[in-house]
Structure 1
Amino acid sequence: MTLPPFVSPTDPAAGRADLFLRYLDYYRESALAKASALPEDALRSSLLPSGWTPLELLKHLRYVELRWIEWGFEGTAVPEPWGDRRDDRWYVAPTETVDEVAAELRAQGAHTRAVVEGHDLAAVGAPGPRWDGAPPATLERVLFHLLQEYARHVGHLDIVAELSGGPTGE
């Protein structure tokens, strides 16, 4: 497993948007590297009482970006914003492969990058159902939320990978 280089606080950045994007890229690729290093049975089974699997977590991360960037900030009508869920839990169809889920997550990341590069961080999201009646957030707030979501879930994946005999740490 080869992880991307960690984004050091002392690495020069072109600005806050660049910093957000580099951290999101790091965490996205870290999650993909950790999950991809696991055997198929460990990707699709759970060692936790909550029951989620590493492959489900990857799909969830793709939908998190979709919900917050496309459905939320951009206000795009998304046919299935909760397509990562079924029966009130994360879901991956038996026919979905890790390569397909990884490609969708990377494509979503590319979309996020394009949105961030095309907007000021102070831009306010479009009104829409994502906000559930609250005023839309700025792009910076959305990115901060995405970053904490990724960091938290990569930590979860560290634990599951360790329990499965897979790669751990940074």
Structure 2
Amino acid sequence: MVIDFPSPMIPAAGRADVFTRYLDYFRESLLEKTAALPEPERRASRLASGWTPLELVKHLRFVELRWIEWGFQGRDVGDPWGDRRDDRWHVDPSETLDDLAAALRAQGAHTSEVITGNDLDAVGAPGPRWDGADPATLERICFHLVQEYARHLGHLDVVAEIAGGPTGE
């Protein structure tokens, strides 16, 4: 699914609409770029840090889970760090791009529902996500998610360029 860049020239219904548009765009751009890579490139790392494009897809799903469900909503999510093993990102060989993409899109749909169904000034529920600190507002969490996606999508651009895949907007 291709989503147009959420240009500031396109009117928005409000701040929540701006956040959801950017997150939807980044999510789909990440999946499009990953899907354009040959399967071996999706599972291999071209960087010294060792992460793979599939690991990045899984990581961003868990980023949304940690910040929206575990953090803002204060839900018990089982293993909020399920994208990690031995202190690094991990994708099991049985996990496919289709499975990871479906999980990311489902998480994204939940994120959008939370963003549009709450006041952006609402403060997150107290809980273990905050490690003793005061919970953040939903708006601060949204800004964090946008920067997380933008930063990692730039990382993926570098990997895709090296691998001969699509880059940029």
TM-score (norm 1): 0.98
Q: How does 1:1-170 map to 2 (within 5 A)?
A: 3-170=2-169
Residues matched between the structures, number: 169
Tell me, which stretches of 5 or more residues in structure 2 are unaligned?
none
Tell me, which stretches of 5 or more residues in structure 1 are unaligned?
none
Percent sequence identity over aligned pairs = 72
TM-score (norm 2): 0.98
Distance 1:114 1:155 in 2: 26
Amino acid at match of 1:45: A
Deviations 1:37-94 (A, max 9, x none): 1010000000000000000000000000000000000000111100000001000000
Deviations 1:135-158 (A, max 9, x none): 000000000000000000000000
Distance 1:88 1:73 in 2: 24
Distance 2:155 2:3 in 1: 18
Distance 1:87 1:104 in 2: 22
Amino acid at match of 1:14: A
Amino acid at match of 1:52: W
Q: Which runs of 4+ in 1 moved over 2 A?
A: none
Give the direction of change, closer, same or farther, for the CA distance of 1:3–1:161 in structure 2 (3 Å limit): farther
Distance 1:168 1:18 in 2: 26
